[in-house]
Amino acid sequence: MKEFWQSCIQALAQELPPEQMKAWVLPLAPLGFDEELGELRISAPTPIKQNWAKTNYTARIQELASQWFNRPDVKVMFQLVRANQVPPAMSGATAAVALASAPVAPVQAAPVTGTQPFGTSPEVIIESAAPNVPATASFGNTESEDFIYKRSHINPNLTFESLVVGRSNQLANAASAQIVDKPGVSAYNPFFIYGSTGLGKTHLMHAIGNALIKAGKVNRVRYIHADQYYSDLVKSFRTSTFDEFKRYYHSLDLLLIDDIQFFRKKDRTQEEFFYLYETMVAQNKQIIITSDTYPRELQDISNRLTSRFDSGLTVHIEPPELEMRVAILLRKAEEKPGIILKEEAAFFIAKHLRSNVRELEGALSKVSAYAGFHGLKTFTVEVCKEALKDLLSVSNGQITVENIQKTVADFYKIKVQEMYSKRRPANIAMPRQIAMYLAKELTQKSLPEIGDLFGGRDHTTVLHAVRKITEARVKNAELNHQLHVLEQTLKG
């Protein structure tokens, strides 16, 4: 009975404006269903509401009940039950299917207890309470936003504000803004984000969800990992609650499904998802999918799905470039109260850890733990080097002249080609001489070999650079510091 009422509310919420739902439908509550008479009794708390419901909703609820109980002769009765009144006792078949303690509080915030439509999965149990909560209430109402959040499994911290944008995710970020602007538009549906692990796909997906909820553009939102979707589906078969499962997903406004590659070889899950996909897209309900690869490259996923994934907008997130890695580290450090991450220390970490953002976060946590243990608030290159000793020894290769040229070019924000060019403006000549100096200091190469690697320069040019930097270093504290950072970075 409870399930029926939930699905009934859900169906009505699709058809009626939120104000009407709140004022007239949510105050109603099911009393019971008499199987012998085919009588569905529903309580209304006031005569006005009783009358209104009778006039306006009888036919539709009757239709829904006939489908649900699979009989054409259902009669709907609205009974006046004032808030402090105990509903009349039920007997026989009625009692068997009635709610244990009807009437249900019409606007109920807490998850439903008792019947668990999706087996033991708390993920979906909370969701199944959705129709009973004021999901369709006004979005100005923070409580209602709260409910939407609770049911959605969206992480409120993963927002656009906390996402650093750089070359590698610029396009994905711009496309996301379009979706927030006009969710469900066919050109962007589905929105398919792919890229390797730890690059911010999930973050972006949550950011869109957060923005759409805040903008009041979606009511029924769900973030789910593909593997969890699979488990919930299996559970629904086991517990004979598949219809609930299906109804719930098919009623969503926004579905965020993470790591779709987990559907690999799960044919029944793929089939069910295909139907869900078709339903949502046909109704202009937005679907966002992440994956470790682009649609056509997905292994063991049916063609009819991958071709549909390709039919909306597909974007790639690439590994962040050095500047972005530094920016991410500085931003993440700002979020940790009471610590200061020096820019050169961020550069040091970013230079060594290139593959993904999760790795950068891990490194920063390690440094924080190390610094905390030693009572240090400022993270210098030395602190980072010490804290990340184990991590860096794995990722660190031998120092080469190419590596020195690249590191120095990155540090002074010039192109690496300038290391071989003949151009001599000071902002280029100086870093080039520094790179030559470091090549002599940190590698076994001879002066002529180094000259060759710097665009075929004479060994005397290299010697001049080495002498010049050696002297300048002694006199110029700032230069000495920069060289120190570069040395630490290169040595790891």
Binding residues for ATP: 198, 200-202
With CB under 6 A as the rule, give the number of residues binding ligand ATP.
19
What count of other Cβ atoms lies within 10 Å of the Cβ of residue 90? 18
CB of 219 to ligand ATP, least distance (A): 25
Establish if 228 lies at the interface with ligand ATP (CB under 6 A). Answer: no
Which of 197, 240, 378, 460 is close enough to bind ligand ATP by CB under 6 A?
Answer: 197
**Cα 426–Cα 432–Cα 434 angle in degrees, nearest 5:** 100
> Which residue, 200 or 209, has its beta carbon nearer to ligand ATP?
200
Print the binding letters for residues 118-157 with ligand ATP: x by CB under 6 A, - otherwise: ----------------------------------------
- Rounded to a whole number of angstroms, the CA Rg of the chain reads 31
Establish if 117 lies at the interface with ligand ATP (CB under 6 A). Answer: no
Token representation of residue 466: 């080495």
Establish if 476 lies at the interface with ligand ATP (CB under 6 A). Answer: no
3-state per-residue secondary structure call for 339-366: CEECHHHHHHHHHHCCCCHHHHHHHHHH
Give, as ranges, the residues between 360 and 379 that touch ligand ATP (CB under 6 A): 361
> Which residue, 111 or 198, has its beta carbon nearer to ligand ATP?
198
Establish if 209 lies at the interface with ligand ATP (CB under 6 A). Answer: no
Label residue 259 left, alpha or beta by phi (over 0 means left) and psi (-120 to 50 means alpha).
left
Residue written as token pair 């789910």: 224
> Which residue, 35 or 292, has its beta carbon nearer to ligand ATP?
292
CB of 356 to ligand ATP, least distance (A): 7
Establish if 323 lies at the interface with ligand ATP (CB under 6 A). Answer: no
Give, as ranges, the residues between 61 and 100 that touch ligand ATP (CB under 6 A): none
> Which residue, 325 or 432, has its beta carbon nearer to ligand ATP?
325
Whether the CB-CB separation of 144 and 246 falls below 8 Å is answered with no
CB of 317 to ligand ATP, least distance (A): 7
CB of 369 to ligand ATP, least distance (A): 17
Print the binding letters for residues 257-296 with ligand ATP: x by CB under 6 A, - otherwise: --x------------------------------x-x----
Establish if 164 lies at the interface with ligand ATP (CB under 6 A). Answer: yes
Which of 328, 330, 462, 485 is close enough to bind ligand ATP by CB under 6 A?
Answer: 328
Establish if 35 lies at the interface with ligand ATP (CB under 6 A). Answer: no
Which of 50, 202, 251, 489 is close enough to bind ligand ATP by CB under 6 A?
Answer: 202
> Which residue, 163 or 387, has its beta carbon nearer to ligand ATP?
163
Establish if 350 lies at the interface with ligand ATP (CB under 6 A). Answer: no
Establish if 238 lies at the interface with ligand ATP (CB under 6 A). Answer: no
Which of 103, 184, 200, 209 is close enough to bind ligand ATP by CB under 6 A?
Answer: 200
Which of 6, 43, 128, 169 is close enough to bind ligand ATP by CB under 6 A?
Answer: 169
What count of other Cβ atoms lies within 10 Å of the Cβ of residue 162? 14
> Which residue, 197 or 417, has its beta carbon nearer to ligand ATP?
197
CB of 227 to ligand ATP, least distance (A): 11
C-alpha distances (whole Å) from 301 to each of 90, 214, 280 are 52, 34, 20
Q: How far apart are CA 356 and CA 320, in angstroms?
A: 7
CB of 283 to ligand ATP, least distance (A): 27
Residue stretches of the annotated binding site: 198, 200-202
> What's the distance, CA 303 to chain centroid?
26
Query: Cis link prior to 190 (omega < 30° from 0)?
Result: yes
CB of 243 to ligand ATP, least distance (A): 31
Label residue 413 left, alpha or beta by phi (over 0 means left) and psi (-120 to 50 means alpha).
left
Residue written as token pair 């269903």: 33
| Residues at the site binding ligand ATP, with contacts judged by CB under 6 A | 158, 163-164, 169, 195, 197-203, 259, 290, 292, 328, 357-358, 361
